[in-house]
Protein backbone atom coordinates (compact mmCIF):
# COMPACT_ATOMS: atom_id res chain seq x y z
CA UNK A 1 0.00 0.00 0.00
CA UNK A 2 1.43 3.41 -0.92
CA UNK A 3 1.98 5.89 1.93
CA UNK A 4 0.58 8.68 -0.24
CA UNK A 5 -1.96 8.34 -3.03
CA UNK A 6 -3.11 11.47 -4.84
CA UNK A 7 -6.03 11.11 -7.24
CA UNK A 8 -7.14 13.79 -9.69
CA UNK A 9 -6.25 16.61 -7.36
CA UNK A 10 -7.53 20.05 -8.39
CA UNK A 11 -6.89 23.26 -6.49
CA UNK A 12 -8.29 26.59 -7.62
CA UNK A 13 -7.53 30.01 -6.18
CA UNK A 14 -10.30 32.22 -7.51
CA UNK A 15 -10.23 31.47 -11.23
CA UNK A 16 -6.66 30.21 -11.19
CA UNK A 17 -6.06 26.45 -11.38
CA UNK A 18 -2.86 26.09 -9.39
CA UNK A 19 -3.12 22.27 -9.43
CA UNK A 20 -4.96 20.65 -12.31
CA UNK A 21 -5.81 16.96 -12.20
CA UNK A 22 -2.64 15.74 -10.53
CA UNK A 23 -2.35 12.02 -9.73
CA UNK A 24 0.57 9.99 -8.43
CA UNK A 25 1.46 7.63 -5.61
CA UNK A 26 4.40 7.40 -3.30
CA UNK A 27 5.64 4.18 -1.67
CA UNK A 28 6.93 4.01 1.90
CA UNK A 29 10.64 4.75 2.01
CA UNK A 30 10.80 6.60 -1.29
CA UNK A 31 12.60 9.91 -1.72
CA UNK A 32 10.63 11.88 -4.26
CA UNK A 33 11.51 15.25 -5.78
CA UNK A 34 8.94 17.69 -7.15
CA UNK A 35 10.33 20.10 -9.69
CA UNK A 36 8.99 22.64 -12.15
CA UNK A 37 9.17 26.33 -13.04
CA UNK A 38 8.14 29.14 -10.69
CA UNK A 39 4.40 29.23 -10.19
CA UNK A 40 3.95 25.64 -11.42
CA UNK A 41 1.93 24.73 -8.34
CA UNK A 42 4.50 22.83 -6.26
CA UNK A 43 3.92 24.64 -3.00
CA UNK A 44 0.19 24.49 -3.63
CA UNK A 45 0.46 20.72 -3.86
CA UNK A 46 2.18 20.61 -0.46
CA UNK A 47 -0.45 22.91 1.04
CA UNK A 48 -3.19 20.57 -0.16
CA UNK A 49 -1.51 17.41 1.07
CA UNK A 50 -0.68 18.95 4.44
CA UNK A 51 -4.27 20.09 4.92
CA UNK A 52 -3.45 23.77 5.05
CA UNK A 53 -5.62 24.65 2.06
CA UNK A 54 -8.76 22.66 1.18
CA UNK A 55 -8.63 20.97 -2.22
CA UNK A 56 -11.22 21.96 -4.83
CA UNK A 57 -11.72 18.36 -5.97
CA UNK A 58 -9.94 15.04 -6.06
CA UNK A 59 -8.87 12.73 -3.26
CA UNK A 60 -5.81 12.29 -1.08
CA UNK A 61 -5.04 9.06 0.79
CA UNK A 62 -2.38 8.89 3.48
CA UNK A 63 -1.41 5.41 4.63
CA UNK A 64 -4.62 4.02 3.17
CA UNK A 65 -6.84 6.55 4.95
CA UNK A 66 -8.85 9.17 3.07
CA UNK A 67 -7.51 12.47 4.39
CA UNK A 68 -8.86 14.74 1.68
CA UNK A 69 -10.23 17.55 3.83
CA UNK A 70 -8.43 16.84 7.09
CA UNK A 71 -7.11 19.98 8.81
CA UNK A 72 -3.36 20.49 9.07
CA UNK A 73 -3.03 19.75 12.78
CA UNK A 74 -4.69 16.37 12.29
CA UNK A 75 -2.40 15.57 9.38
CA UNK A 76 0.55 16.28 11.66
CA UNK A 77 -0.89 13.92 14.24
CA UNK A 78 -1.23 11.23 11.57
CA UNK A 79 2.48 11.54 10.87
CA UNK A 80 2.87 14.10 8.11
CA UNK A 81 5.34 16.94 8.71
CA UNK A 82 6.48 19.77 6.48
CA UNK A 83 8.71 22.81 6.21
CA UNK A 84 7.79 26.11 4.59
CA UNK A 85 9.38 27.79 1.59
CA UNK A 86 9.71 31.32 2.95
CA UNK A 87 9.40 30.70 6.64
CA UNK A 88 12.40 29.93 8.80
CA UNK A 89 11.61 29.19 12.46
CA UNK A 90 10.24 31.13 15.42
CA UNK A 91 12.87 33.84 15.91
CA UNK A 92 11.90 34.65 19.49
CA UNK A 93 12.46 31.08 20.59
CA UNK A 94 15.77 29.34 21.02
CA UNK A 95 16.69 26.48 18.72
CA UNK A 96 15.85 23.83 21.26
CA UNK A 97 12.56 25.53 22.16
CA UNK A 98 11.55 25.50 18.49
CA UNK A 99 12.17 21.79 18.27
CA UNK A 100 10.35 21.23 21.55
CA UNK A 101 7.23 22.80 20.02
CA UNK A 102 7.29 19.94 17.51
CA UNK A 103 8.07 17.34 20.16
CA UNK A 104 5.12 18.44 22.29
CA UNK A 105 2.84 16.88 19.69
CA UNK A 106 3.68 13.45 21.08
CA UNK A 107 4.11 14.22 24.77
CA UNK A 108 2.74 16.50 27.49
CA UNK A 109 5.88 16.28 29.56
CA UNK A 110 8.40 19.06 29.24
CA UNK A 111 11.22 16.75 30.24
CA UNK A 112 10.26 14.28 27.57
CA UNK A 113 10.01 16.99 24.92
CA UNK A 114 13.41 18.31 25.90
CA UNK A 115 14.96 14.85 25.71
CA UNK A 116 13.57 14.19 22.25
CA UNK A 117 14.63 17.64 21.06
CA UNK A 118 18.18 17.05 22.30
CA UNK A 119 18.28 13.81 20.34
CA UNK A 120 17.26 15.54 17.12
CA UNK A 121 19.73 18.36 17.71
CA UNK A 122 22.43 15.76 18.04
CA UNK A 123 21.38 13.91 14.89
CA UNK A 124 21.40 17.09 12.81
CA UNK A 125 24.64 18.33 14.41
CA UNK A 126 22.95 21.39 15.86
CA UNK A 127 23.74 20.76 19.52
CA UNK A 128 26.12 23.71 19.72
CA UNK A 129 23.30 26.08 18.84
CA UNK A 130 20.73 24.66 21.27
CA UNK A 131 20.31 27.80 23.35
CA UNK A 132 20.77 30.37 20.60
CA UNK A 133 17.80 32.44 19.51
CA UNK A 134 16.82 31.40 16.00
CA UNK A 135 16.85 35.03 14.85
CA UNK A 136 20.55 35.19 15.71
CA UNK A 137 21.48 32.19 13.56
CA UNK A 138 22.78 32.35 9.99
CA UNK A 139 20.20 31.38 7.34
CA UNK A 140 21.58 27.88 6.57
CA UNK A 141 21.40 26.91 10.23
CA UNK A 142 17.85 28.30 10.39
CA UNK A 143 16.87 25.99 7.54
CA UNK A 144 18.24 23.06 9.48
CA UNK A 145 16.20 24.19 12.48
CA UNK A 146 12.97 24.15 10.45
CA UNK A 147 13.72 20.57 9.43
CA UNK A 148 14.58 19.66 13.01
CA UNK A 149 11.33 21.19 14.26
CA UNK A 150 9.32 19.20 11.72
CA UNK A 151 11.18 16.06 12.80
CA UNK A 152 10.18 16.82 16.38
CA UNK A 153 6.64 15.74 15.52
CA UNK A 154 7.96 12.20 14.85
CA UNK A 155 6.61 12.04 11.29
CA UNK A 156 6.38 9.07 8.96
CA UNK A 157 6.55 11.36 5.98
CA UNK A 158 8.29 14.71 5.59
CA UNK A 159 7.62 17.40 2.98
CA UNK A 160 10.52 19.81 2.39
CA UNK A 161 9.82 23.01 0.44
CA UNK A 162 13.06 24.43 -1.02
CA UNK A 163 15.32 23.90 1.97
CA UNK A 164 18.43 24.46 -0.16
CA UNK A 165 17.36 27.76 -1.75
CA UNK A 166 20.01 30.45 -1.40
CA UNK A 167 22.67 28.20 0.09
CA UNK A 168 26.27 27.93 -1.13
CA UNK A 169 27.66 24.59 -2.40
CA UNK A 170 29.15 23.46 0.90
CA UNK A 171 25.93 24.32 2.74
CA UNK A 172 24.02 22.37 0.09
CA UNK A 173 26.26 19.41 0.85
CA UNK A 174 25.35 19.69 4.54
CA UNK A 175 21.64 19.81 3.72
CA UNK A 176 22.01 16.75 1.47
CA UNK A 177 23.72 14.92 4.29
CA UNK A 178 20.84 15.81 6.61
CA UNK A 179 18.22 14.73 4.06
CA UNK A 180 19.96 11.40 3.51
CA UNK A 181 20.21 10.90 7.24
CA UNK A 182 16.48 11.57 7.67
CA UNK A 183 15.66 9.19 4.84
CA UNK A 184 18.12 6.37 5.39
CA UNK A 185 18.78 6.38 9.12
CA UNK A 186 15.47 7.64 10.47
CA UNK A 187 13.48 5.73 7.84
CA UNK A 188 11.20 8.64 6.95
CA UNK A 189 9.59 8.92 3.52
CA UNK A 190 10.63 12.26 2.02
CA UNK A 191 9.07 14.41 -0.68
CA UNK A 192 10.95 17.57 -1.54
CA UNK A 193 10.51 20.60 -3.75
CA UNK A 194 13.77 22.00 -5.03
CA UNK A 195 15.20 24.21 -7.75
CA UNK A 196 18.77 23.24 -6.93
CA UNK A 197 19.24 20.53 -9.58
CA UNK A 198 22.41 19.20 -8.07
CA UNK A 199 20.51 18.24 -4.93
CA UNK A 200 17.48 16.88 -6.75
CA UNK A 201 19.47 14.73 -9.15
CA UNK A 202 21.73 13.41 -6.41
CA UNK A 203 19.38 12.48 -3.61
CA UNK A 204 16.00 11.70 -5.21
CA UNK A 205 14.94 8.20 -6.32
CA UNK A 206 12.20 9.62 -8.46
CA UNK A 207 10.95 12.95 -9.75
CA UNK A 208 7.54 14.42 -10.50
CA UNK A 209 7.51 17.46 -12.78
CA UNK A 210 4.79 20.11 -12.65
CA UNK A 211 4.13 22.83 -15.19
CA UNK A 212 1.17 25.25 -15.12
CA UNK A 213 -0.53 23.07 -12.54
CA UNK A 214 -0.23 19.88 -14.61
CA UNK A 215 1.94 16.87 -13.98
CA UNK A 216 4.01 16.60 -17.14
CA UNK A 217 6.42 13.83 -16.17
CA UNK A 218 7.10 11.21 -13.50
CA UNK A 219 10.20 9.01 -13.46
CA UNK A 220 13.81 8.46 -12.40
CA UNK A 221 16.18 11.45 -12.52
CA UNK A 222 17.84 10.04 -15.64
CA UNK A 223 14.46 9.62 -17.40
CA UNK A 224 13.41 13.13 -16.45
CA UNK A 225 16.65 14.70 -17.66
CA UNK A 226 16.09 13.04 -21.03
CA UNK A 227 12.40 13.98 -21.27
CA UNK A 228 11.87 16.44 -24.11
CA UNK A 229 8.85 18.12 -22.56
CA UNK A 230 10.65 18.69 -19.25
CA UNK A 231 13.66 20.12 -21.02
CA UNK A 232 11.45 22.50 -22.90
CA UNK A 233 9.38 23.56 -19.87
CA UNK A 234 12.00 23.70 -17.19
CA UNK A 235 15.49 22.29 -17.41
CA UNK A 236 16.54 23.93 -20.68
CA UNK A 237 18.95 22.62 -23.29
CA UNK A 238 21.97 24.06 -21.54
CA UNK A 239 21.42 22.09 -18.36
CA UNK A 240 21.19 18.83 -20.23
CA UNK A 241 24.33 19.42 -22.25
CA UNK A 242 26.37 20.48 -19.21
CA UNK A 243 25.32 17.45 -17.21
CA UNK A 244 25.12 14.89 -19.98
CA UNK A 245 27.92 12.77 -18.47
CA UNK A 246 26.64 12.67 -14.87
CA UNK A 247 23.14 11.45 -15.53
CA UNK A 248 23.67 8.41 -17.68
Partner 1 sequence: MEALRNAFDFSDSPRVDLVIAAMVAVALLLFPLFSPSSFAIATIIQFFIFALYGMGWNTIGGYGGQVDLGKAQYVGIGAYTTAVMLIRWDIPFWVSMPIGMFFSITWSFIIGYPLFRLKGHYFAIATIATSLVLKDLFEIWDFVGAARGLEISPIKYSPPDFLRLIFKQDIYYYYVIFGFFLLGILIINWFRRSRLGFQLRAIKDNEDVARSLGINVHLSKVKTYAIATAFVSMVGSFHACYIKNIEPEDTMSLDISILIALMAMLGGAGSLWGPIIGAGVLIPLKSYLKEWLGARGGLVGIDLIIYAAIIMVISAREPRGIWGIVERVRRRKRL
85 binds ligand ATP (CB under 6 A): yes
Q: Which of 43, 83, 142, 146 binds Mg ion (CB under 5 A)?
A: 43
Greatest alpha-carbon span in the chain: 55
Closer by beta carbon to ligand ATP, 36 or else 140: 36
When asked if residue 42 is in the footprint of ligand ATP (CB under 6 A), the reply is yes
Does the protein bind ligand ATP through residue 87 (CB under 6 A)? no
Sign, Cα dihedral of 142, 199, 3, 51: positive
> Phi then psi for 13, rounded to 5 degrees?
-110, 110
Q: How far is CA 202 from the centre of its chain?
A: 15
**From residue 116, how far is each of 75, 76, 148, 225 by CA, in Å?**
21, 17, 11, 40
Task: Report the partner that residue 44 touches, choosing among partner 1, Mg ion, ligand ATP, none (CB closer than 5 to 8 A by kind).
Answer: ligand ATP
- Distance between CA atoms of residues 242 and 248, nearest Å: 12
User: Could you say whether residue 18 binds ligand ATP (CB under 6 A)?
Assistant: yes
Q: How many residues bind Mg ion (CB under 5 A)?
A: 2
Site string for Mg ion, 49-88 (x = CB under 5 A): ------------------------------------x---
CA 14-17-23 angle, 5° bins = 140
Least distance in Å: CB of 153 to partner 1? 6
* Nearest CA among 86, 93, 236, 232 for reference residue 161: 86
CB atoms within 10 A of CB 226: 16
Among positions 150, 207, 209, 224, the unique one binding partner 1 when judged by CB under 8 A: 150
Rule CB under 6 A: say whether 155 interacts with ligand ATP: no
Binding mask 39-58 for partner 1 (x = CB under 8 A): -----------xxx------
Separation of alpha carbons 166 and 141, rounded Å:
12
The single residue among 7, 10, 39, 167 that binds ligand ATP, judged by CB under 6 A, is 39
- Distance from the first to the final alpha carbon of the chain: 31
Site for partner 1 in 66-125 (CB under 8 A): 71-73, 75-77, 81-82, 84, 87, 90-93, 97, 100-102, 104-105, 107-111, 113
Which parts of this chain interact with ligand ATP (CB under 6 A)?
13, 16, 18, 36, 38-44, 85
Amino acid sequence: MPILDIRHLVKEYGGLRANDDISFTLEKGELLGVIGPNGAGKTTLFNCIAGLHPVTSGRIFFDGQDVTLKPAHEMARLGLARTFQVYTAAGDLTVVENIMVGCFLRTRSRKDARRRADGILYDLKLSDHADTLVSELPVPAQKQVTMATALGTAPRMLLLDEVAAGLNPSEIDDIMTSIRHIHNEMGITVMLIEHVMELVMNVCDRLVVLDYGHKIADGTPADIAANAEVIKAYLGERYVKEHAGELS
